[in-house]
């Protein structure tokens, strides 16, 4: 029992070959409180675990225009589980509702622990039928644009 419990405490972040569906990482609540799901046709996930990473994403999405995420078959996931409830409810979520794109939100640490993180960075995932084909830690707007514009290098 102790061995099984220790594995649950230290789950590894998702990696190439992992299936999001089998890991129960398909369904999220968006900034409007509506349930959203990653779809089989989605090809890119952009994950932000902190405010600095989020700023990189918002800058690119604003620059590229309203339909950019949809055009690239991309989903933006924001991990807000560490944010204090009052800040989330009265400041962050109202601000997020002004964005012209959906943000899939992570509100509990167990789901957030599944994603690779870099302080002040984003993580980009190329996916196909819910399977991770590749991932990359993204440090700036140029890297994010390049990641989203490139075709997956792995089949």
DSSP string, the chain: -HHHHHHHHTPPPP-TT-BTTTTT-SEEE-TTS-EEE--TT--EEEEE-SHHHHHHHHHHHHHH-TTHHHHTTEEEEEE-TTS-HHHIIIIIHHHHTTSSS-EEEE-SHHHHTTS---TT-EEEEEEETTEEEEEEEE-SHHHHHHHHHSPPS--
* CB 155, CB 73: distance < 8 Å: no
Task: Supply the pTM of this predicted model.
Answer: 0.90
- The predicted pLDDT at position 151 comes to 75
* CB 56, CB 47: distance < 8 Å: no
Angle (nearest 5°) at CA 9 between 8 and 10: 95
Which of 3-7, 44-48, 79-83 has the weakest average pLDDT?
3-7
pLDDT, tens only, 83-132: 999 999 999 999 999 999 999 999 987 899 999 999 999 999 999 999 99
- The predicted pLDDT at position 58 comes to 98
- The predicted pLDDT at position 5 comes to 43
Task: Output the average pLDDT for the chain.
Answer: 91
- The predicted pLDDT at position 142 comes to 98
Domains within the chain, CATH numbers bracketed: 10-149 (3.40.30.10)
């Amino acid at each position: 029992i102790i061995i099984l419990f220790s594995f649950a405490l230290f789950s590894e972040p998702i990696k190439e070959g992992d299936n999001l569906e089998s890991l129960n990482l398909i369904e999220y609540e968006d900034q409007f409180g509506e349930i959203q799901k990653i779809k089989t046709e989605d090809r890119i996930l952009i994950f932000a675990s902190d405010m600095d990473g989020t700023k990189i994403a918002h800058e690119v999405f604003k620059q590229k225009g309203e339909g950019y995420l949809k055009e690239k078959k991309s989903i933006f996931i924001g991990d807000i589980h560490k944010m204090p409830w009052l800040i989330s409810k009265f400041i962050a979520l109202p601000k997020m509702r002004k964005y012209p794109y959906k943000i899939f939100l992570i509100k509990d640490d167990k789901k957030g622990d599944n994603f690779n993180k870099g302080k002040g960075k984003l993580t980009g995932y190329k996916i196909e039928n819910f399977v991770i084909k590749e991932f990359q830690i993204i440090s700036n707007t140029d890297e994010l644009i390049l990641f989203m514009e490139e075709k997956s290098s792995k089949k």
